A and B are shown apart, each in its own frame.
Chain A
Amino acid sequence: MSKTETMQEGKERYKSGVIPYKKMGYWEPGYKPKDTDVIALFRITPQPGVDSEEAAAAVAGESSTATWTVVWTDRLTACELYRAKAYRVDAVPNTGPGTSTEQQYFAYIAYDLDLFEEGSIANLTASIIGNVFGFKAVKALRLEDMRIPVAYLKTFQGPATGIVVERERLDKFGRPLLGATTKPKLGLSGRNYGRVVYEALKGGLDFVKDDENINSQPFMHWRDRFLYCMEAVNKASAATGEVKGHYLNVTAGTMEKMYERADFAKSLGAPIVMIDLVIGYTAIQSMAAWARRNDVILHLHRAGNSTYSRQKNHGMNFRVICKWMRMAGVDHIHAGTVVGKLEGDPLMIKGFYDVLRETHNPMSLENGLFFEQDWASLNKVMPVASGGIHAGQMHQLIHYLGEDVVLQFGGGTIGHPMGIQAGATANRVALEAMILARNEGRDYLREGPRILENAAKTCSPLKAALETWKDISFNYESTDTADFVPTATVSA
């Protein structure tokens, strides 16, 4: 199809009134994206009667320069450059007639670099997931993936610390890090809260963590929590000779309050602070800059993401959040466990982890990665696996998640029948035994249970942990899986 068949030119194009988006220049099937273009892949469910190319053009239009009607002022601009271009539409496999799902399409849309302000996730997202998601011509819309050009990545700070320097600061190499979230998440006083932190760290964990909704409530105000937690961290460090940390949640109602809390954490020698995703992209970038400036690791809890990432037809895929957060500059992000209590298909989670940890991602449709992505030397983000995991799954966790990950056993530490310290020791022994076995070249995934049993012979806390949680697993169907036909020869 040539360009002239799809787009009207000159006077005809700019006649007042409403014309299809395709004819306004937002559908350009021959377009070859430039190396500097931002590319977005949307999953579109068009309204009945709207053809797929028009729907894709409409999304391109509404996420870039278009409004609902023709405006002559376009002619004062280099409008062909500023228009986003939908250049490819594929029917989504296993949707449409004969299936239980309405027909959906994958639409590839390219955006010129000049549409975006440097170093601003807020600006990028205001276009890509702005008005367009409420647009009537599409019944549902989901942002599945993005290709961020190196030219744009270079305008972002990236992770304040990154996996490599985090490990060097902690002096911990060659094994996943271990953490736990203090439980109960709400209600403990500062003094009691610090007790949990101390016991868990002394027992063998590297980190303990505030939960997402622990900020400064009547039962425990933030300064109290910070003081007791740092007493616990330092005492555990002296007891073990290891660097220890507690993610102090500095999330608050205003930036000023967050800075105040973060500064206080730093003044107490805290190696790491945390924020919640709900504080917003700009606040996250500000805190990442603060963290870089103050030599503090920045943990991000993805509170809120499932409101828009879980349903397959509308919202956005979590892998896009992973990309934006790597650009925004966090050091840790919760990215799924595969085997725990929260949503996660193994192949999809591998995709998230690859986005966070690799210097370069090849296109991998089975992992949900639609584009090749060069990370332009942005630091690597440490994924965090948290939610319903325990020591008995250690072989599976290492198999699926690898080495650069924080494994967080909250209930699996604090709920141990012999106490918190014993719970922590059980996890640490299980981890070290499994890493030792893996490095020895054993088939640790298959032999996992036996390796753990063996290690438990000299560690009664591990024995008790294996006994307590032996039958616990969470086997539910994932709601978010890849849609691809293995034989498809798709190239971006």
Chain B
Amino acid sequence: MMTNPGNRITQGQFSFLPELTDAQITAQIKWALKHGWAVSVEYTDDPHPRNTYWEMFGMPMFDLKDPAGILLEINSCRKSFPNHYIRVMAFNSTRGGESPAMSFLVNRPKAEPGFTLVRQETEGRQMRYTVHSYATDKPESERY
């Protein structure tokens, strides 16, 4: 178990709030669609803070403008990967952006073991730090 204030990984926009309901997720999707952003769903069993490329649950939904349809995709991902981390992202493709504009978690494993900090003493007082996920000691598909 993690010992930070929420006892969990705090990536994404809303990790310090209670889990979002489907109605709340829908409201966020509407915000994204209002701005013309493409919503996408990604999942992983390797939540290292610098693991950029989570698995894509299908392509970004560039042409889907129906919040209910997008929520269906999210729930289908949750069904397929009930014990993974799942995030919803919104991509802004306009000039000067061309980058994610939103990212928030909508699913977590039941137990979140978190990370250990591996310290390797090097020259003088210097330290090499490695943030290591306990879960990734196991092979993929057996982690959570």
Q: Pick from B4, B90, B103: contact of A240, CB below 8 A.
A: B4
CB-CB under 8 A for A458 and B18, given A267-B126, A268-B126: yes
Across-interface contacts of B141 in A (CB, < 8 A) = none
Report the interface size for chain A: residues with CB under 8 A from the other chain: 44
Q: Pick from A227, A358, A421, A441: contact of B27, CB below 8 A.
A: A441
Are B114 and A238 in contact (CB-based, < 8 A)? yes
Tell me the minimal C-beta distance from A92 to chain B in angstroms.
Answer: 34
Binds A, one of B45-53, B64-72, B73-81: B45-53
Tell me the minimal C-beta distance from B129 to chain A in angstroms.
Answer: 4
Across-interface contacts of B10 in A (CB, < 8 A) = 204, 240-242, 428
CB-CB under 8 A for A421 and B5, given A234-B117, A439-B28: yes
Are B117 and A174 in contact (CB-based, < 8 A)? no
* Contact string against B for A residues 433-458, beta-carbon threshold 8 Å, 1 for contact and 0 otherwise: 10110011100000000000001001
Across-interface contacts of B49 in A (CB, < 8 A) = 171, 237, 241-243
Are A230 and B131 in contact (CB-based, < 8 A)? no
Are A227 and B16 in contact (CB-based, < 8 A)? no
Tell me the minimal C-beta distance from B112 to chain A in angstroms.
Answer: 8
Are B14 and A432 in contact (CB-based, < 8 A)? yes
Tell me the minimal C-beta distance from A444 to chain B in angstroms.
Answer: 12
B85-110 residues with Cβ-Cβ distance < 8 A to A are 89-90, 95-104
CB-CB under 8 A for A167 and B99, given A243-B50, A433-B17: yes
Are A238 and B27 in contact (CB-based, < 8 A)? no
A302 on the B face (CB < 8 A) = no
A197 on the B face (CB < 8 A) = no
Across-interface contacts of B89 in A (CB, < 8 A) = 173
Across-interface contacts of B13 in A (CB, < 8 A) = 173-175, 432, 435-436
Q: Pick from A173, A241, A425: contact of B103, CB below 8 A.
A: A173
Across-interface contacts of B100 in A (CB, < 8 A) = 167-168, 173-174
A390-410 residues with Cβ-Cβ distance < 8 A to B are none
Are A440 and B103 in contact (CB-based, < 8 A)? no
Q: Pick from B14, B16, B114, B127: contact of A241, CB below 8 A.
A: B114
Are A174 and B101 in contact (CB-based, < 8 A)? yes
Across the two chains, which residue of chain A brings its CB closest to B95?
A359
Tell me the minimal C-beta distance from B84 to chain A in angstroms.
Answer: 14
Are B126 and A432 in contact (CB-based, < 8 A)? no
Are B96 and A380 in contact (CB-based, < 8 A)? yes
B138 on the A face (CB < 8 A) = no
Are A174 and B4 in contact (CB-based, < 8 A)? no
* Contact string against A for B residues 6-41, beta-carbon threshold 8 Å, 1 for contact and 0 otherwise: 000111011111100000100110110000000000
Across the two chains, which residue of chain A brings its CB closest to B94?
A359
Across the two chains, which residue of chain B brings its CB closest to A267?
B126
Question: Which residue among B13, B24, B50 has the maximum number of chain A CB atoms within 10 Å of its CB?
Answer: B13
A161-179 residues with Cβ-Cβ distance < 8 A to B are 164, 167-168, 171-175
Across-interface contacts of A458 in B (CB, < 8 A) = 18
Are A204 and B5 in contact (CB-based, < 8 A)? yes
Across-interface contacts of B114 in A (CB, < 8 A) = 238-239, 241
Across-interface contacts of B102 in A (CB, < 8 A) = 173-174
CA distance A243 to B115 in the complex (A): 13
CA distance A428 to B16 in the complex (A): 7
A412-433 residues with Cβ-Cβ distance < 8 A to B are 421, 425, 428-429, 432-433
Across the two chains, which residue of chain B brings its CB closest to A239?
B4
Across-interface contacts of A380 in B (CB, < 8 A) = 96
Tell me the minimal C-beta distance from A89 to chain B in angstroms.
Answer: 35
Across-interface contacts of A230 in B (CB, < 8 A) = 127, 129
Across-interface contacts of B15 in A (CB, < 8 A) = 432
CA distance A237 to B9 in the complex (A): 10
Are B9 and A238 in contact (CB-based, < 8 A)? no
Are B127 and A231 in contact (CB-based, < 8 A)? yes
Tell me the minimal C-beta distance from B66 to chain A in angstroms.
Answer: 17
Across-interface contacts of B27 in A (CB, < 8 A) = 439-441
Across-interface contacts of A268 in B (CB, < 8 A) = 126-127
A346-368 residues with Cβ-Cβ distance < 8 A to B are 358-359
Across the two chains, which residue of chain A brings its CB closest to B128?
A269
B56 on the A face (CB < 8 A) = no
CB-CB under 8 A for A242 and B11, given A171-B49, A174-B90, A432-B16: yes
8 sample A-B contacts, Cβ–Cβ < 8 Å, listed by A number: A173-B99, A203-B5, A204-B5, A227-B125, A237-B131, A267-B126, A269-B128, A432-B14
Nearest 8 CB-CB pairs, A to B? A241-B9, A439-B31, A238-B117, A234-B129, A174-B102, A359-B96, A238-B115, A440-B27
Binding site for A on B (CB under 8 A): 2-5, 9-11, 13-18, 24, 27-28, 30-31, 47-50, 52, 89-90, 95-104, 114-117, 125-129, 131-132
Binding site for B on A (CB under 8 A): 164, 167-168, 171-175, 202-204, 223, 227, 230-231, 234-235, 237-243, 267-269, 358-359, 380, 421, 425, 428-429, 432-433, 435-436, 439-441, 455, 458-459
Given contacts A168-B100, A432-B17, A459-B16, 8 further A-B contacts (CB under 8 A): A167-B99, A171-B103, A173-B13, A174-B13, A230-B127, A240-B10, A242-B49, A436-B28
